Structure 1
C-alpha cells in the first residue's frame, strides 16, 4: 500500500463507509451491491474480464460485449434476479448494480432503456401482453429508431413513412402499414443496438392514414430480423455506422425500409389508433397524458443526469488518487522531498470542484428520477396530472441533462489532463472513459439545442408573473421553476435587489449562495424574454428574434441548472441532517463543504452575471475568490476519502493510475508489457520493413554527381 494514500485516508474527518452508505441508499444496499460486484469480478468463466480491452479491435469489443451480455443474463436467471418482477430482470434494482459492476458497455443497452419503456408507455394492454413476455425472455430484442441521417432534434421533420394499406388492397388481415424510407436523408441513423443486434425496432414514422392524411409521427413496432436465424427480413437493410471515437462495444446503426409490411396492430395504440378501414382515432385524454410520448425521452435525459455524478466520481477517483501518489517539485532548497501534486493550488482548483459536483449531480439525479417516475405512474394509471408539472420537469430535465453531461464530459477530460503524461495512456482508464462518455452531450437532445426548450417553458412562468395570474402561479409553486417566482416578482416589479453579504464569512452561507444563484437565473430569464421582445419590436420576425436570443438562452439555462443543483444538494443534506438515517455530523459537515465548493466555484466562473446589474459589488467578488480558496482548504484533507466513498473497485476503474493501493508504476509497466506489440523481442515491423534500413541499407547515403 502506498504510504501517501495511507496517510490521506487516515486524516479524513468523516467515516467513509457511512458516506458510501449514503450514496448507495443505505447499509443494506451497500452490502448487496458488494455481493453482486463480487459475483461479476469472480465469475469462473472469465468472460467479464476487462484486462485486454484496450488491445482489442472494435469488432472484437462488440462480440465480447455480446458475450458479456449473454453471460450476465444467464447469471441473473441462476440467481433469481427479476423473480420479484415476474421475471423481468431489467426492472430489478439488482440489474443496474450489475451493469455498473461490469465496467463495460453492452450492445443490448437500448433494449431495456428505450425499447421496453416505449412498449409499456405507448402500447395498449393487448400489445403489452403479446410483446413484453418476448422481451422478458430475450427472444424479442429491440431498439428505438427515431433519428434519421438527415434529422436529429427536429422530430417533426422526420421523413420515414408508415402508410395504411387496407386488407382489400393487398394488406394483411385487418389491415397493414407499409414502412418506407423515401429519401436518403430518411435512413434511420445512430440508434444503439440497431446495427447488428436488434431483431425489432420501435420505429418513429409519419403515419399516413386511410384517407391519405399525414397524422404526424407515431410509433410502430417493425421486425428487422428473423427470430430464428437472425437474417434480415425482406425490404430491411441495417448495419453498423462504423468505428466511433468511443462506445465501440455498441453497434450504433443505420436502417432503411423498402415497402416493409407490418400488421396494423403493430402501431402503438395506447393513445391513438387506426381502425381496419384506415380511420385515425385519437383517444380522449388529459393534455398531460397526450405528451406521454415525450416521457421516454425525458426518462433517458434524467438517466443521463443521474449517471453524470457517477461518471464524474469515477474520473475524480482516478485523478485524485494519482495526484496524492504523484510527486513533482521539491518542497525546499535541500531537495530532500518532493511535493504531492495534490498540494498544488491549481491542481486542487481543477479537481475539487469536479469532486464536489459529482456528489451534487448524484443527489439531483435521484430527485429528478423520483419526480419523473411519479408523474409517469400517475399518467399511466389515469390519475390527474397538472399540465404544468409535465412541462416543468421537461424544462428541469432538459436544463440538467445539458449542463451535467457537458460538465462531466469536460471534467473527465480535465481529470485526464490533470494526470500529466501518464493520463495520455489508455492504461490510465481516462481516455476511453472520456471518448465513450462523449455521446451524452449529443444524444436525447443536443446540449446546445435543449436550452431553447428550457426557456420556452420558463417564459410561460414569466408571463404568469407579468399578468399576476394567481391560478397559474399556484400551479407553478410546487414545481422546480416555482422557486423563481419571488425573484421574478421583485425584478419585474422594478425593485432593486442586492446581495446582503456584509463580509466574506456571510458569503459562505449556503442559504445566501442559493439565493444568489436563484436571483441570477431569474434575472437572466427576464433578460432573455426581453431580448426576444425587443427584437420583434425592432422589426425582426419572431423566428429571427428567437434566433438572436439563443446565446442568452443557453446562458440562462446553465444558470437555472446550477440553481437547481445547489437547491437539491442543500435540500438533501438538510433532510439527512434531520433524520441522521445514514450519516452523522462529520459527514454532514463534509457534504456542506462540497455544496459550498460548487456554489462558490460556479459564481467565481460567472462573476460578470452577478456584477452587471449591481447584485454583487467588486468587494463581493473579492470575497468570493477568497472563499473559493477556503473551500479548497476544507476539502483537501478529505479528498482521497471522498473519492473512496464512491467505492469503485480496481476492476471497475480499469486504471493503473487510480488503483486502491496506489502502486501506480508497477501497474503501468505491467500494462505496457502486455501490449501485443511487445509480444516478441523483435517487433512485428522489423522484417521486412525496418530490416531494409538497418541491414539492407536502402537508406544509405551515396553521393551523386547530378540531381533531377
Structure 2
C-alpha cells in the first residue's frame, strides 16, 4: 500500500519537530518516485520511512550528519577514486581530509552529544579519516584537559590552533591489556627537574600508535614513574614532544618507525617508538592523579593505585562507547547494500514460466538478511542509548558535577560488554551480507569487503574483545558477592538493576505455550533477565568452588571464563541491547505503524538470539520443563512468520537508516536499485578495464617459457 507522508498524529517523542525538517530533500528524498526494482517494495511498505527515520535518530542528529555529508560531496578533496591508491597516497589524503574536517568545526561544545553523530558521518565516508581527525584534535586535547594541569595550557592552545598533532602511546610490543607489566620508564631527575624516558628493549617499544608513524608531533605516553629513591609509582601519563613541528623530524633520543600496511584503515599511520635517555620537563607529567613535588616525592590523593589508574584510563573510555556506534554504522551500510541488492536481483520463478522473482522473496535469503536487519536496528538504539549516557556523564564532569563511582563503574562495565557485542554481531552480519550478494558482492566496488575489513579492528582495539569483556563479568560478580539486593544501588543506569530480584527471577519457569506470547518483546526480555541471572549464579558458584579448592585468584579467574563468565558478560550486553530497543518502542504511540514494525524487529532479534545461542541453556537449567512446550519450535515458527511479515518492509526499513548514495558508494546498494546500470558504469569507468596488459607477451610467446627454463 502506498502511504503518502501526511500529518497524522505525531508520537509524543516527535512532537518537538516542525514540518520544516520534512522539506529537507537531502534528508528526505522522494524515494517513492524513483523508477526501478525497489519501487514495488516501497509501495507495499506498512509504515512511513520518513517517520521511522526520525525515530531512529533525532532531527538534530540527521542535520549534523547531512551537514558533514553535503560538505564532503561538494568538496573536490572528498571525491571517490576508482583506483586502489598506494599506502603513502592513502595516508596523505586521509591527513588532508582530517585537517579540513577539523577546520570546519561541525558542532560546538554546547552540542557535545552531536560529536558521535559527526564521527558517525565521517567514519561512514572513510574510517581512516576519522582516526586522523578524532585522535589528534579531539581525544588528545580532551585527555590533556582531563588529566593535566594549567602547566600545559600552552599545548592545548597549540592543538586548537593546529600547530601540533597528538597521539596516544599506551600499548607496547609485549604488553597490551596487562598494563601493570609495561616496561617503558620515566625516572625523575631532580637536578634538571625533568623526567628521563627509557625503553629497555624492543619488547617495550610503544606500538600501534595511531598517527605516530608519519605525522604526530606530540604523544601522551604511559610509562612506569620512578622517583630518585628508586621507587616505582606505577603507570603514569606524560605529554611528550616527539617531532619538531617545523620540519617533522624526530627529536634525538627517540626512534620512531612505521608499522606498515595493515588489513585495512591504511590512511592511519600506526607507528612504534623507543626512548633512549630522552628528557622532558617535569611539567609534562599529566598530574591530576599524581605529581612529583619539589622534594622529588610522588604525591597523590588516591591511596589505592588501581583507583588512580581507573581515573587515568577513564579519559579513554569514550573510545569503547564510540566503537559501538561506528560498528553499527558499518552494519547499516552492509545491510542496506544486501537488502537493496536482494530486492533487485532476480533468480528463478514458477515452473514453465519466464517470470523471475527477486531473491528477497525466498525464505532462505530472508533468513540470511532480515534477522541482521533487526540486529542493525537493535544496535542502533543501543548505541544511541549508551552514547547519551556517556556524553551526559562527561558534560556533567566538565560542568564540575561529581559523578558517582557507581555510575562510572557501570558505564565501564556495559561499554566493556557492549563494544564486543556490537563488533562481533556486525562482523557476522557483514560476512553474511557479502555471501548473500554472491559473486558481485566479492567485487571491491561492492564495498562489502572494505566494510568487513574496516570493522575487523573493532574486535581488537580499545581492548581485545575476549579480554575486555571480562571487565563486565568482574563487575557483575563483585556486586553479586554482596548479595542480590546490592544491584539496586550498583546500577544507576539500569543495566543490572533487575538483578536485585535475582532469587525471584531464578524461581521462574517458561510458561508461554502460544507463538504470540513466546514472541512478545516483554516476555523475551524476561527470558533474557532469567538467562543473565542464571549465568551469574552459575559463574558465582563456579568461582566459589574453585576458591574452596585452594586455587589462586589468578587460576580462579582463568578457570571460570569459558562456558561461564564469558557467556555471562555477552548475555549481559545482549540483554541491554534488547532493553534499550524496548524502551524506545514504549515511547511511541501505541497504534502507530512504526511502533508495530519496530516491535516485530525486536521480536525477531531477541527470539533469534535465544533460539540460536541460548536454547540449550534454557533446557539444561530446567527453565523449560521437560514435559513442557517445544520452545524452540515456538520460536522458529514465530521467526518464520516474522520473515514473511517484514519482507515487504525491508527496503523501507533500510531507507530509514541508509546514508546517501554518495557515502554508500556501492553499485549494488544505490537507492534506485538499478544494480546493473551502476555496475556497468563503474566497470567501464575503472582505469585499465579495456587496456592490454603491459606483460601481454608473457601470455602468448613460448620464448618466455624457454628463456626461464
Return the TM-score normalized by structure 2. Answer: 0.89
Superposed CA deviations along residues 481-521 of structure 1, whole A, max 9, x for unmatched, are 44332452236xxx632023131111121111100011101
* Distance apart, 1:289 and its partner CA: 7.7
* Distance apart, 1:142 and its partner CA: 0.5
8 A contact 1:162–1:205 mirrored in 2: yes
When structure 1 is superposed on structure 2, of 671-680 and 358-367 the one drifting more is 671-680
Superposed CA deviations along residues 26-82 of structure 1, whole A, max 9, x for unmatched, are 2x5534543442221022xx2101232x521222211121222233345x1xxx645
Q: Matched residues in 2 for 1:386 and 1:422: separation?
A: 52
Query: What does 1:353-432 align with in structure 2 at a 5 Å threshold?
Result: 353-379=371-397, 383-432=401-450
Name the residue aligned to 1:135.
159
Superposed CA deviations along residues 455-480 of structure 1, whole A, max 9, x for unmatched, are 111012211226xxx5x444125343
* Distance apart, 1:677 and its partner CA: 3.7
Name the residue aligned to 2:86.
57
Aligned with residue 600 of structure 1, among 600, 607, 627: 607
Name the residue aligned to 2:62.
30
Aligned with residue 494 of structure 2, among 480, 486, 505: 480
Aligned with residue 48 of structure 1, among 49, 58, 78: 78
Q: Matched residues in 1 for 2:678 and 2:232: separation?
A: 61
Name the residue aligned to 2:248.
230
Name the residue aligned to 1:310.
329
Matched, 1:96 2:119: yes
* Distance apart, 1:108 and its partner CA: 3.8
Name the residue aligned to 1:705.
none
Which SS does the other structure have where 1:219 is aligned?
strand
Question: Where do 5+ consecutive residues of structure 2 fail to align?
Answer: 1-33
8 A contact 1:55–1:676 mirrored in 2: no
Query: Relative to 1, partners in 2 of residues 1:165 and 1:288: Cα closer, same or farther, differing over 3 Å?
Result: closer
Question: Where do 5+ consecutive residues of structure 1 fail to align?
Answer: 579-583, 701-707
When structure 1 is superposed on structure 2, of 656-665 and 434-443 the one drifting more is 656-665
8 A contact 1:161–1:207 mirrored in 2: yes
Q: Matched residues in 1 for 2:235 and 2:383: separation?
A: 30
When structure 1 is superposed on structure 2, of 282-291 and 262-271 the one drifting more is 282-291
Q: Matched residues in 2 for 1:421 and 1:318: separation?
A: 14
8 A contact 2:64–2:106 mirrored in 1: no
Which SS does the other structure have where 2:483 is aligned?
helix
8 A contact 1:14–1:586 mirrored in 2: yes
Q: Matched residues in 1 for 2:203 and 2:705: separation?
A: 51
* Distance apart, 1:277 and its partner CA: 2.9
Q: Matched residues in 1 for 2:425 and 2:213: separation?
A: 30
When structure 1 is superposed on structure 2, of 320-329 and 281-290 the one drifting more is 281-290
Query: Relative to 1, partners in 2 of residues 1:618 and 1:239: Cα closer, same or farther, differing over 3 Å?
Result: farther
Name the residue aligned to 2:662.
651
* Distance apart, 1:164 and its partner CA: 0.5
Return the TM-score normalized by structure 1. Answer: 0.89
* Distance apart, 1:97 and its partner CA: 6.2
Which SS does the other structure have where 1:194 is aligned?
coil
8 A contact 2:116–2:387 mirrored in 1: no
Aligned residues: 667
Q: Matched residues in 1 for 2:115 and 2:566: separation?
A: 37
Which SS does the other structure have where 2:196 is aligned?
strand
* Distance apart, 1:103 and its partner CA: 3.7
Query: Relative to 1, partners in 2 of residues 1:151 and 1:11: Cα closer, same or farther, differing over 3 Å?
Result: same
Q: Matched residues in 2 for 1:69 and 1:533: separation?
A: 51
Query: Relative to 1, partners in 2 of residues 1:402 and 1:599: Cα closer, same or farther, differing over 3 Å?
Result: same
* Distance apart, 1:327 and its partner CA: 1.4
* Distance apart, 1:598 and its partner CA: 0.9
* Distance apart, 1:160 and its partner CA: 0.7
Superposed CA deviations along residues 427-478 of structure 1, whole A, max 9, x for unmatched, are 1111011112100000111111123211111012211226xxx5x4441253
Q: Matched residues in 2 for 1:698 and 1:237: separation?
A: 47
Name the residue aligned to 2:183.
159
8 A contact 2:470–2:565 mirrored in 1: yes
Which SS does the other structure have where 1:292 is aligned?
helix
Superposed CA deviations along residues 344-401 of structure 1, whole A, max 9, x for unmatched, are 2222112112111112112111221222233334455554433222222211111111
8 A contact 1:307–1:362 mirrored in 2: no
